[in-house]
Amino acid sequence: MGWLVKYFRPRLIVDGIHLYGNLVELSAVHLPPVIAATVASDTVKHSEAFIGKSNQEYYSWIQDSEKWGGAIELSILADFYGLEIVAYDIQTTRCDLYGQEKKYSERVMLICDELHYDALAISPFEGAPVEFDQILVPVRKDRIIGLAEELAFETC
C-alpha cells in the first residue's frame, strides 16, 4: 500500500503560535513555558550570543503570544518530546533536522514559509478521513521522507 503525504491543518490556528499549535496537537499555552524554562535552566548553552538576546529577555519574549520561534525552539521541542523534527523551508528549499543525533524512533515533519509552521500528515489514501492521518511517523529508511520533501518543495 502506498502513502500520501499532505498538509495537516490544525483545527485552531492562532497567528504567532503556529509552530506550537501543530506539534502533537498540544495547546500553544503549554509549550512556550517549557521552552522558556529550558532556556533559563542552561544559560551557558543558551547564551546571549546563541539566542540573540539576554536569557531574561528571551524568557519573556518566547512567552508572548504574538511571538514565535524557529530553530532554537524546534531543537528544544525535539528533546522535550523525544522525537525528530524535520522542518522544510519552502522559501529557501532547506531541510533542517532536529534530534537526529539522539536516534529517536519517531519524527514529525513540518513545512515553514517564514510565517508559519504547518505539520505534514501521512495518509493511507487520498480522501481518507482525517482520523487516519498520521502526524508522528516512524524514523526509517523508506520513501516517506522523500514524498514529504517532494510536497514541501513543490510550491517553490
Mean pLDDT score across all residues of the chain = 74
What is the mean pLDDT of the segment spanning 54-73? Answer: 85
- Decide if pLDDT at 22 tops 50: no
Query: Worst-scoring range by mean pLDDT, 56-60, 89-93, 128-132?
Result: 128-132
* pTM of the full structure: 0.73
- The residue that leads in pLDDT, 121 or 7, is 121
SS3 116: coil
Q: Where are the beta strands (DSSP E) in 45-128?
A: 84-89, 94-98, 106-112, 117-123
Which DSSP string do the residues of 37-92 spell out, in sequence order?
HHHHH-TTTT-HHHHSS-HHHHHHHHTSTT----HHHHHHHHHHHTSEEEEEETTT
Q: Which pLDDT tens digit goes with each residue over 101-115?
A: 998 988 888 888 777
Q: Which pLDDT tens digit goes with each residue over 145-156?
A: 555 566 555 644
Cell of 123: 495518509
Residue-range domain boundaries for the chain: 4-154
CATH architecture entry for 4-154: Alpha-Beta Complex (3.90)
- Decide if pLDDT at 98 tops 90: yes
